[in-house]
Every structure is written in structure tokens, then in C-alpha cells.
Amino acid sequence: MIVTVTSFKGGVGKTTTAIHLAAFLQGQAETLLIDADPNRSASSWASRGQLPFPVIDEWHPDALGTAFQHVVIDTQARPTQDDLATLATNCNLLVLPTTPDILALDALVLTVNYLKSIRAERYRILLTSIPPKPSKAEDEVRSLLAEAHLPVFKQGIRRYAVFQKAAMAGVPVYDVKNPKAEIAWQDYAAIGKELLLPDHRNSLNSPPPQE
């Protein structure tokens, strides 16, 4: 399975999502994270500590072989339309993280509209940095996305400072000694389980579409 995490806007939890989806998938089978972001955010994360999967900073098809059953790709923020088309063509699923605020949603609309224009259907929206109750931001955004008939992960990622601590330590969030660490990890574990649901597994494990 090749999962690509991308967004037309920075600051929406793209690298955090790539790191933690790779951590979950590594628990199922050998997983590789490719850091295709020129900022090398995932590589910097890995350099500060230890991740349970390898991170490389470029795509090396000859080096992959059959060693990895899953590949997660962390892309640059604000990819060009041509880049987005290439990403959509060469992966099983595009994960589109977005925070529940108007600027992020504006960028999400641009992304989705372009994906529709190229008839790319293998994508799913992930709500990140969800503020705690009594905020109604998550419910309001989910309602808007449902009205637009857009595919969204059932689970969202709640806003926890422990994710920043994990990035500073160079580890997945579950390795941080903090009362919120396990709760934060369970959000991403739930996303990983959605990826592996029987009704999605066949389409996600089928070969990526070709032009």
C-alpha cells in the first residue's frame, strides 16, 4: 500500500500525520517513510530520536524491492497541480489533512476541485488539530463536508501539545512520557484501522491507477 499525505496549505499536520500513519502501518508490516518535502520535516523528526521505521529523503525504486509492504510519502506543502496529478496517479490513497478553520478549508476546496478535474477518486480528508469541546468546529466542518459528499475519515485528530513534544524528541507520540500521549496515539491508531477495514483494503491494496 502506498499512502501519500499532501495539502495545498502548510501547518495542517501533514508531517505529523505521515509519521504516525507510518508508525501504525509498521505495526502491521514493514513500512518505509519517504520524506519528499524539501523542508525535510520528517527527516528532521527522525534525526532527533528514533522512529520504528526507516526514513529516506528521496524515492529510490531500485532500493525498495520487496522489503516494504507499505510506503508512506510526506510531500511538500502546496504542491503544483502537475505534482498533485503525479501523486494521485502513483499511490493507492491520498490523505488530505486539514484543520477546521476557514483558511485551511479554502485550500482544501482548491485541492479537491483539482482532484475532481483530473478524475482522481482515491483520496480521503482527515480533520486535524481539532479543538476541545465545547467548540463545535469539528461538527460544523463535518456537516459541510457531508453536504458536499466528500470522503472523510470517521476519526479526527484532536489538538494536543504532546505532538510537539514527540517531534522535539524524535519519536512517535506514544513514546512520550505524558498523560495525553496514549490518547493522542489512539486517534492515529483509529485512522490506521480505517485504512485496513475490509471494505477498503481491496481498493487500497490494488495497484495504483495508471495514466
**What are the structural domains, with CATH classification, of the chain?**
2-200 (3.40.50.300)
Which amino acid, residue 50?
A: Q
3-state secondary structure of 205: helix
Below-70 pLDDT ranges, the chain: 59-66, 198-211
**Dihedral of CA 62/118/153/129: which sign?**
positive
In this prediction the pTM is 0.90
Phi, psi for 157 (deg, rounded to 5): -105, 115
Predicted pLDDT at 65? 57
Predicted pLDDT at 64? 54
